[in-house]
Amino acid sequence: MIRTLIVEESNVARLGIHSLLGRHAQSLEIDEAGSRMEVVTKLCARYYELIIVEPKMSGGSAASLVKQLRDNSPWSDVLVFTALDELTFGVDAIRNGAKGYLMKSCTADQFRAAVKRVASGQVYLSTALAAEFATCVRRYDTRSKPHDTFSKREFQVFAMAVCGMTPIESAHILQMSTDTIGAFRRSVMGKLNETTLHGMVQYAQAQGLLDECRTSCSALWSGRFDQGWVDRPATRTSTFA
């Protein structure tokens, strides 16, 4: 029997996971945790070989929960099963120690395949996430420039900031909260070693990224509103002076 911990805040979602496991549940000894406090209690009490987790849980960030699981139970294989976008959160989840990342929009067969793979100590990634992760790994070559380390979402947020879009506009276009956009902006600024939007615009100009930023913004705007995007004067450094 594989000792398994399901970490999920919603009672209904936990029932859904049991249902998805189907006959495979017979080979699992399943326990549950519905809060961060309960997670700590369970991990202190016993050893789990497999942890299936929805990291979007009250009391902290999604990334912090995955890291907490690895810190408290480094021998466990962690499968993230979440509604959080894989291209936004997936790479960081894998870097924080998860063995697999699966979105809740998957099929039952995909879920069972992911559980089987992670439970056997292997990595499970979707095709899109595997490609994104490989790209990010290549970007961390020591010869890379700071913007080469951006994830896809980080570059999109960077581009929209450089092109003069407000956090509210960015959040609306990417269908995220303004807090999430703010977190991405802080991450971008940290990687660029900049503290202001003015500095971000200057960096974009110095690296010849303005056209790429405009192209990215235009594509995002058109995809969201089905109409052309009008260039703004925010790419001039004087805007944030």
Is the full-model pTM beyond 0.85?
Answer: no
Mean pLDDT of 163-181: 91
Tell me what pLDDT residue 239 has.
34
Amino acid at site 161: A
Largest CA distance in the chain: 65
Q: Examine the pLDDT at 23 and tell me if it is beyond 80.
A: no
Domain annotation for the chain: domains and CATH numbers:
2-132 (3.40.50.2300), 142-240 (1.10.10.10)
- Please state, in angstroms and rounded to a whole number, the distance separating the CA atoms of residues 227 and 14: 42
Of 22, 45, 23, 21, the closest CA to residue 33 belongs to 45
Tell me what pLDDT residue 50 has.
94
Q: DSSP letters along 37-72, please? A: HHHHHHHHH---SEEEE----TTS-HHHHHHHHHHH
Q: List pLDDT tens digits, range 26-84.
A: 788 899 999 999 999 999 988 999 999 999 888 888 888 888 898 888 889 999 999 98
User: Could you tell me which residues are beta bridge partners of residue 124?
Assistant: 100
Tell me what pLDDT residue 157 has.
94
Q: List pLDDT tens digits, range 117-148.
A: 999 889 998 888 888 777 665 555 545 688 88
Q: Is 13 exposed, middle or buried (0-12, 13-18, 19+ CB in 10 A)?
A: middle
